[in-house]
């Protein structure tokens, strides 16, 4: 499994996602758009040294190009987003023989429509409360934990 972080603003969120990725044995994270990488001190503050155990790639091109490239390499592309086409994470059929690439997007704007169009599946975490969404780092941790079990 690999992670693609698209236009995530908060260095704290990025560091937290790195820590989660390393915990679950994910080895590669792509930082796209405005997503800070390990040169940012607040990423390092929250990643707690896990950046040394990960392959962090700052991708300079358009994220949609990266997604298409990874798809050609055999990954099934998953996006985490609220969308009319979203599948409840609890109902998603996890295939143990598949390699997944999970895309998470900007804290406010989410994953862009062009990227969603390239995804094989769009996943959503259904909540019970009044708030419609979770923090991106928390949501990523929930999805990764579910996919990696």
- The three-state DSSP-derived secondary structure of 8-39 is CCCHHHHHHHHHHHHHCCCCEEEEECCCCCCC
- What pLDDT score was predicted for residue 74? 97
Q: Is the pLDDT of residue 131 over 90?
A: no
Q: State pTM to two decimals.
A: 0.96
pLDDT in tens, 83-110: 999 999 999 999 999 999 999 999 999 9
Beta strands 87-88; 75-80: pairing state:
unpaired
Residue 128: pLDDT over 90: no
Answer yes or no: are the C-beta atoms of 82 and 45 closer than 8 Å.
Answer: no
State phi, psi for 80 to the nearest 5 degrees. Answer: -100, 110
Beta strands per DSSP E along 23-108: 28-32, 55-59, 75-80, 87-88, 99-104
- CATH number, domain of 78, equals 3.40.1280.10
Cβ-based burial of 24 (10 A; exposed 0-12, middle 13-18, buried ≥19): middle
Q: Is 39 helix (H, G, I), strand (E, B) or coil?
A: coil
> pLDDT by residue (tens digit) across 4-29?
999 999 999 999 999 999 999 999 99
The confidence score (pLDDT) of residue 130 equals 82
In angstroms, the CA 23 to CA 105 distance is 21
What are the pLDDT digits (tens) for 21-72?
Answer: 999 999 999 999 999 999 999 999 999 999 999 999 999 999 999 999 999 9
In the chain, how many domains are there? 1
Residue range of the domain that includes 73 = 2-148
């Amino acid at each position: 499994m690999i992670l693609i972080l698209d236009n995530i603003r908060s260095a704290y969120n990025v560091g937290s996602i790195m820590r989660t990725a390393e915990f679950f044995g994910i080895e590669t994270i792509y930082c796209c758009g405005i997503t800070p990488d390990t040169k940012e001190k607040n990423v390092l503050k929250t990643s707690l040294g896990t950046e040394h155990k990960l392959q962090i790639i700052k991708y300079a091109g358009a994220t949609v190009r990266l997604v298409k490239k990874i798809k050609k390499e055999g990954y099934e592309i998953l996006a985490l987003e609220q969308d009319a086409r979203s599948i409840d994470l609890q109902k998603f059929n996890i295939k143990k023989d598949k390699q997944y690439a999970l895309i998470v997007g900007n804290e406010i704007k989410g994953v862009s429509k062009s990227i969603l169009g390239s995804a094989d599946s769009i996943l959503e975490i259904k909540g019970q409360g009044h708030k419609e969404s979770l923090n991106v780092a928390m949501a990523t941790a929930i999805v990764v934990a579910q996919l990696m079990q």
